[in-house]
Amino acid sequence: MSRATTIVQIVRDAYRAEGFLPLHAPVFQGNESAYVQATIESTFVSSVGAYVDQFEAMLREITGASHVIATTNGTTALHMSLLLAGVGRDDLVITQSLSFVATANSIAHAGATPAFVDVDADSYGLSHTALKAFLESECVLTNAGCIHRATGRRVAACVPMHSFGLPARIEEIVEIATAWRISVIEDAAEALGSKIGSRHCGTFGKLGTLSFNGNKIVTTGGGGAIMTNDPELGKRAKHLTTTAKVPHRWRFEHDAIGFNFRLPNLNAALGCAQLEQLDAFIAYKRDLAQRYSEAFAKADIPFVTERPGTTSNYWLCAILLKDLAERDECLEITNEAGVMTRPIWEPLHTLPMFSSAPRGPLEVTQEIASRLINIPSGVLRQPA
């Protein structure tokens, strides 16, 4: 039996299901219809309403972040967080090339340029040793902050990403960044429910962000959130994402160039119903990951697992194949067999708009990008 056929068999056995298996489809089997219907009846479908407040309160409870601001999507949450951290025109922001394009796009939206650093071979998140090596060999700490010598640009922030829900080595990253006077913004778009020890991903840096796009662990249709433990940043985030309007019963007065980044109440209603099921979704996905882990070990195919001391939400499960040729063969055969698989994102430094961005060595990124595929990971909808 070819390894591709083995993969198809393992996925089908783990799900105990025939028929097409999607990578990750949303499941609406809780109070979604009821809450959305109630929102329509209330007429509060837009940027004000009780569900937005409730959604933020639920997220504070789940993540432990003292301030949560719901936004239109994960990209705008990142964009706003970068601005709040003081990132401006012509700055550099260190991030990983192994990420979804939104991570680097948001840096460009803030007027800055990404600088790419390698990831860990086990966490798939930004490598703290590669970060340290990049800073020591390419940068210098001055009165104006951390300066990238070759370009003369200020390194204003660092954006590690918790890949597929696997927690990055965020404590080590924060320690190094702090010594270099660089703000850390965690892209925790994929990591709702993921923890290091008992502390939630996205709450270690100055700010952290979440996404509730349709493919994420819970969805609001489209949506995102900013997390912070800094009350001033929290207040500022709320103000700037809601057009920077000065509170008044009828006057339209604004005291800054604000953004229309507020999550609509209609989307938050869907989100509240989804969050009620988060624990059940995570339990299902961690069970699935356990079955995958055992079966792939027997087949001698590396299955990507959480590091000791961390808890992954197993948003997207992943395996590593021998090389690019085997990867492409497996993608072909599994998708043909109705088991949806996908390669990881093309590394961001290879995309035309980021091809001239500064970078350190990216060997681990290249290696993972040529060998990794994501396999079906979502909760399977129960027959009605």
Radius of gyration of the chain (CA): 21
Among 213, 267, 311, 370, binds ligand PLP (CB under 6 A): 213
Residues 6+ apart with CB under 8 A from 285: 217, 313, 314, 315, 377, 378, 379
Quick one: 101 or 244, whose CB is closer to ligand PLP? Answer: 101
Tokens encoding 343: 């390669």
State the Cα–Cα distance between residues 382 and 384, nearest whole angstrom: 6
Quick one: 4 or 125, whose CB is closer to ligand PLP? Answer: 125
DSSP state at residue 161? B
Query: Looking up tokens 């995958």, which residue turns up?
Result: 292
Report, in Å, the least distance between residue 194 CB and ligand PLP. Answer: 13
Report, in Å, the least distance between residue 147 CB and ligand PLP. Answer: 27
Query: Looking up tokens 């808890």, which residue turns up?
Result: 311
Segment (H or E) for 52 = helix 50-63
Residues 118-177 that bind ligand PLP (CB under 6 A): 161
Report, in Å, the least distance between residue 107 CB and ligand PLP. Answer: 11
- Among the listed ranges 8-16, 97-105, 323-331, 336-344, the one in contact with ligand PLP (CB under 6 A) is 97-105
Query: Looking up tokens 């996205």, which residue turns up?
Result: 202
Among 211, 219, 220, 274, binds ligand PLP (CB under 6 A): 211
Among 189, 217, 318, 337, binds ligand PLP (CB under 6 A): 189
- Among the listed ranges 44-52, 95-103, 232-240, 274-282, the one in contact with ligand PLP (CB under 6 A) is 95-103
**C-alpha of 382 from chain center:** 27
Query: Looking up tokens 């025939």, which residue turns up?
Result: 18
Q: Mind spelling out the 3-state secondary structure of 81-120?
A: HHHHCCCCCCCEEEEECCCCHHHHHHHHHCCCEEEEECEC
Provide the pairing of β-strand 153-159 with 372-375: unpaired
**102 lines the binding site for ligand PLP (CB under 6 A):** yes
In terms of Cα–Cα distance, which of 312, 332, 313, 338 is closest to 373? 332
Report, in Å, the least distance between residue 164 CB and ligand PLP. Answer: 9
Residues counted in the chain: 384
Residues 50-89 that bind ligand PLP (CB under 6 A): 73-75
Residues 220-259 that bind ligand PLP (CB under 6 A): 224
Judged by CB under 6 A, the number of residues near ligand PLP is: 14
Binding mask 344-383 for ligand PLP (x = CB under 6 A): ----------------------------------------
Report, in Å, the least distance between residue 122 CB and ligand PLP. Answer: 18
Report, in Å, the least distance between residue 202 CB and ligand PLP. Answer: 12
Among 56, 138, 186, 190, binds ligand PLP (CB under 6 A): 190
Quick one: 100 or 204, whose CB is closer to ligand PLP? Answer: 100
Quick one: 189 or 357, whose CB is closer to ligand PLP? Answer: 189
Closest residue to ligand PLP, Cβ-based?
A: 74
- Among the listed ranges 60-68, 184-192, 299-307, 316-324, the one in contact with ligand PLP (CB under 6 A) is 184-192
**C-alpha of 239 from chain center:** 24
State the Cα–Cα distance between residues 269 and 246, nearest whole angstrom: 26
One-character DSSP codes across 305-374: -PPTTEE---SSEEEE-SSHHHHHHHHHHHHHTTB--EEPPPPGGGSGGGTTS-B---HHHHHHHHHEEE
**C-alpha of 349 from chain center:** 18
Report, in Å, the least distance between residue 39 CB and ligand PLP. Answer: 20
Contact residues toward ligand PLP (CB under 6 A) are 73-75, 99-100, 102-103, 161, 187, 189-190, 211, 213, 224
